């Protein structure tokens, strides 16, 4: 008998729920609060810089680590916002979004049988890329409403196979921003057990309550942390897929070794444009968070009026609700029905857990949309309360 086409190591990964839900939104004409992408373009000067680059002939393979101008802009950004000293020559790598940075890091650092500890719910690519590397994701569950990081549980999962702690803060889908004491404790576990940390900080500028602090800035972490971020969320150009990773030369070289055989390079004309974006003044960054905070509040008010128990996020694009307060308990069935019931699409949070039963009653809504779209969505969701 012929072998099935999909390798068993990818069995069960299937099509992402985002594809299914986005297709459902198109099919039903529903407002798509599923996938996290803005419905407005980012800064015009950044878009203009990309257009100028294309017109100016910046259309061939850029250098492997990314163009110098962007690597310098990334290093300056790390120093300006987080006080991190990063050498743009050896300690920065430009990637095809944060997703590739995480994938290349995991593929470069993990051997089959290795274990990666991450707080769940997890961004969905983590489990998939662990599987591609033959590694295993070991989750520590964050439980609403407080989503406190259980450090004893984290430390309890460390074995001789543990290779990485993969930390996402601000955290998708919960919207949690890890606190300084939590980050201190995570750093201590990494140092005590000689673990490498990979941090996904794509929402670093989208914080409304609390404070973002990169794990790499904690004692003992600078040389054992790969800090990942992306232009997608900060500049509202998610489709450009310009991301980056910063860390020690040794770690960044390892990631580059994997990246060069995945995409080799990416996004030539977008790289100088993102360098322009990273140089924008402080008011751009302040306004970005302020505008999004208002959108969060519009959506969360609407969700509460519709009868949901809402876990108000401290950052990111996303708010999570408990659907039991509106008489449901199966988020997947609920989300498949929601477009027909009231013309809105959301994502069942169960897909972000190792055991889907853990997040069965939770559903995630994105608020990175124009305020009038969120207001309309809130009106539609209010139908659930009638
Ligand atoms: C936690 C997290 N990491 C990475 C990404 C993707 O980043 P990029 O588009 O830069 O690959 C997302 C997008 O939703 C995300 O939520």
pLDDT tens digit sequence for 314-332: 999 999 999 999 999 999 9
CB distance 99 to ligand 1 below 6 Å: yes
pLDDT score of 309 more than 80: yes
CB distance 230 to ligand 1 below 6 Å: yes
Which atom of ligand 1 is least distant from the CA of 123?
A: 1
Choosing from 97, 206, 368 the residue with most ligand 1 atoms within 8 A of its CB, the one to mutate for a pocket test is 97
Q: How far is the CA of 169 from the centre of ligand 1 (A)?
A: 12
Strands ordered across the beta sheet of 136-141:
92-95, 243-246, 225-230, 196-200, 162-168, 115-120, 136-141
How many CA atoms lie less than 13 Å away from 199 in the CB half-sphere?
27
Which atom of ligand 1 is least distant from the CA of 100?
A: 11
- CA atoms of 106 and 166, how far apart (whole Å): 9
Q: Would you call 352 exposed, middle or buried from its count of C-beta atoms within 10 A (0-12, 13-18, 19+)?
A: buried
- CA atoms of 292 and 309, how far apart (whole Å): 21
Which atom of ligand 1 is least distant from the CA of 173?
A: 16
Residue 2 neighbours by CB distance under 10 Å = 4
Strand 347-348 versus strand 362-366 pairing type: antiparallel
Q: Which DSSP symbol is given to 228?
A: E
Which atom of ligand 1 is least distant from the CA of 238?
A: 9
Choosing from 18, 123, 124 the residue with most ligand 1 atoms within 8 A of its CB, the one to mutate for a pocket test is 123
pLDDT score of 113 more than 80: yes
Which atom of ligand 1 is least distant from the CA of 242?
A: 10
Tally helices (H) and strands (E) across the chain. 13, 13
Interval 52-77: pLDDT, tens: 999 999 999 999 999 999 999 999 99
The mean pLDDT value of the chain amounts to 96
Choosing from 232, 239, 245, 319 the residue with most ligand 1 atoms within 8 A of its CB, the one to mutate for a pocket test is 232
Over residues 206-233, mean pLDDT: 98
Q: Given pLDDT bands bounded at 50, 70 and 90, which one contains residue 51?
A: very high
Which atom of ligand 1 is least distant from the CA of 36?
A: 14
What is the pTM (predicted TM-score) of this model?
Answer: 0.97
Helices (H), the chain: 17-28, 44-55, 68-82, 97-109, 125-132, 151-156, 180-192, 231-234, 249-259, 270-278, 282-305, 331-342, 371-381
Over residues 11-15, mean pLDDT: 78
- CA atoms of 168 and 177, how far apart (whole Å): 9
Residue 148 has which token pair? 């406190």
Q: 270-278 and 44-55 are packed helices; what angle lies between their axes, rounded to 10 degrees?
A: 150
Choosing from 169, 171, 230, 347 the residue with most ligand 1 atoms within 8 A of its CB, the one to mutate for a pocket test is 230
Q: Contact, 90 vs 252, CB < 8 A?
A: yes
Q: How far is the CA of 233 from the centre of ligand 1 (A)?
A: 8
- CA atoms of 233 and 168, how far apart (whole Å): 14
Interval 161-192: pLDDT, tens: 999 999 999 999 999 999 999 999 999 999 99
Residue 58 neighbours by CB distance under 10 Å = 18
Q: What is the pLDDT of residue 386?
A: 74
Report CA-CA distances (Å) from 198 to 119, 224, 255.
12, 9, 11
CB distance 173 to ligand 1 below 6 Å: no
- CA atoms of 366 and 298, how far apart (whole Å): 12
CB distance 236 to ligand 1 below 6 Å: no
Residue identifier of the C-alpha nearest atom 14 of ligand 1 = 36
Over residues 267-276, mean pLDDT: 98
């Amino acid at each position: 008998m012929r072998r099935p086409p999909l390798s068993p190591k990818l069995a069960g990964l299937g099509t992402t729920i985002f594809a299914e839900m986005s297709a459902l939104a198109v099919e039903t004409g529903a407002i798509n609060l599923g996938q996290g992408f803005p419905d407005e373009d980012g800064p015009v000067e950044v878009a203009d810089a990309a257009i100028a680059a294309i017109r100016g002939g910046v259309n061939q393979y850029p250098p492997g680590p990314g163009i110098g101008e962007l690597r310098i802009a990334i290093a300056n950004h790390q120093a300006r916002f987080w006080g991190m000293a990063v050498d743009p020559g050896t300690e920065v790598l430009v990637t095809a979004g944060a997703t590739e940075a995480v994938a290349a890091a995991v593929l470069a650092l993990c051997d089959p049988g290795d274990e990666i500890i991450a707080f769940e719910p997890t961004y969905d690519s983590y489990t998939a890329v662990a599987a591609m590397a033959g590694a295993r994701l070991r989750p520590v569950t964050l439980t609403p409403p407080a989503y406190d990081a259980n450090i004893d549980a984290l430390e309890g999962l460390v074995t001789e196979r543990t290779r990485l702690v993969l930390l996402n803060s601000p955290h998708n889908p919960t919207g949690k921003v890890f606190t300084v004491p939590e980050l201190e404790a995570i750093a201590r576990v990494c140092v005590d057990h000689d673990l490498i940390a990979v941090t996904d900080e794509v929402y670093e500028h989208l914080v409304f309550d609390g404070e973002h602090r990169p794990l790499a800035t904690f004692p003992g972490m600078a040389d054992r942390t790969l800090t990942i971020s992306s232009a997608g969320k900060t500049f509202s150009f998610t489709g450009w897929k310009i991301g980056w990773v910063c860390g020690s030369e040794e770690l960044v070289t390892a990631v580059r070794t994997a990246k060069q055989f995945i995409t080799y390079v990416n996004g030539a004309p977008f790289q100088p444009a993102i360098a322009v974006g990273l140089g924008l003044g402080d008011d751009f960054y302040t306004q970005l968070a302020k505008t999004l905070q208002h959108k969060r509040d519009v959506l969360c008010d609407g969700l509460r009026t519709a009868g949901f128990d809402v876990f108000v996020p401290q950052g990111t694009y996303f708010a999570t609700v408990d659907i039991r307060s509106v008489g449901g308990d199966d988020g997947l069935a609920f989300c498949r029905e929601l477009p027909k019931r009231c013309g809105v699409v959301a994502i069942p949070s169960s897909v972000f857990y190792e055991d889907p039963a853990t997040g069965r009653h939770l559903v995630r809504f994105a608020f990175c949309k124009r305020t009038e779209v969120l207001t309309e969505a809130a009106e539609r969701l209010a139908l659930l309360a009638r």
